[in-house]
Amino acid sequence: MSRPPYPCLGFVETQFFSVTAVVAEAMTKAADVKLLGLEPNGSEGVLIRIGGQDPAAVGLALERAEALATELGSRVVSHVMAAPSPEIHSLNTGPLVINPLYGGREEFQPGDFPDKKQSTMNTQNLAIGILETQGLTASLAASDTMFKAADVRLVGKEKIGAAYVTIIIRGNVSAVKAAIEAGAEAAAPFGKVIAAHVIARPHEDLKALLPN
């Protein structure tokens, strides 16, 4: 049996894709760990998987995740697996699968878009904006307003079930901030605005999970 790529794994389960993305970003900057993927749990939550060479580094990343998720109002569960069985890694090595019930990815992995070239998202220090709503009409109203409010481009749309929809945009920091603020205001009359976040300098590990 082959040796696991990371001798230590960490898992953090949070509510909502928007919170998960912000927490995952913070974890990659808090310690020497690798963001391995995200996995919706089918009930408004998403699991973050990280790997590391040092259990202490993984533990530090999880501490940061717990604190930030709590600050953002999310329930959070975390676990350090100091010496995982090689079979654990095999649980998340399948191809890209779209869940037929809600139309979103069942897992978010760095290899989901193997043909992705060095795009603007990858080569420039652009911010990303994350706006999550509960309700498709709200997400559409928000998206139209965001694209009209500032010079931003669509990165992707993600669904995790239960009508939770996340729109991800990119652009310079000021444009993304303006767009996200306008989008959240536009979405409010049509559905629940779960979260609206701007990440000024997204980590490469997070960008690798996104379509564009």
The predicted-structure confidence for 2-33, as pLDDT tens digits, reads as follows: 556 789 999 999 999 999 999 999 999 999 99
Whole-number pLDDT of residue 4 = 64
User: What strands, in cross-sheet order, belong to the sheet with 127-134?
Assistant: 153-161, 164-171, 127-134, 192-199
pLDDT > 70 fraction of the chain, expressed in percent and rounded: 93
Angle between helices 55-71 and 17-30 (to 10 degrees): 140
Structural domain total, the chain: 2
Instruction: Judge whether 60 and 10 are in contact, CB under 8 Å.
Output: no
The predicted-structure confidence for 26-60, as pLDDT tens digits, reads as follows: 999 999 999 999 999 988 899 999 999 999 999 99
Q: Is the model's pLDDT at 113 over the cut of 90?
A: no
Whole-number pLDDT of residue 117 = 56
Residues 107 and 164 in one domain: no
Question: Among 63, 79, 112, where does a domain finish?
Answer: 112
| DSSP strand pairing (8-15 vs 76-81) | antiparallel
The predicted-structure confidence for 158-189, as pLDDT tens digits, reads as follows: 999 999 999 999 999 999 999 999 999 999 99
Indicate whether this model's pTM tops 0.75. yes
Residues 47 and 31 in one domain: yes
Q: Is the model's pLDDT at 95 over the cut of 90?
A: no
Which residues share a beta bridge with 12?
48, 78
Whole-number pLDDT of residue 94 = 81
Which residues share a beta bridge with 128?
170, 199
User: What strands, in cross-sheet order, belong to the sheet with 34-40?
Assistant: 34-40, 45-52, 8-15, 76-81
Q: Which domain holds residue 144?
A: 120-207
Distance from C-alpha of 54 to C-alpha of 16, rounded to nearest angstrom: 28
Whole-number pLDDT of residue 112 = 85
Report which of residues 88 and 4 the model is more confident about. 88
> Which amino acid, one-letter code, is at 45?
G
Distance from C-alpha of 21 to C-alpha of 131, rounded to nearest angstrom: 11
Question: Among 91, 112, 133, where does a domain finish?
Answer: 112
Closest CA relative to residue 48, chosen from 87, 90, 13: 13
Residue 202: helix, strand or coil by DSSP?
A: coil
Distance from C-alpha of 155 to C-alpha of 172, rounded to nearest angstrom: 13
Residues 103 and 150 in one domain: no
Residue bearing tokens 């953002």? 72
Report the CATH number at residue 197: 3.30.70.1710
pLDDT > 90 fraction of the chain, expressed in percent and rounded: 75
The predicted-structure confidence for 116-133, as pLDDT tens digits, reads as follows: 655 544 546 799 999 999
Residues 98 and 162 in one domain: no
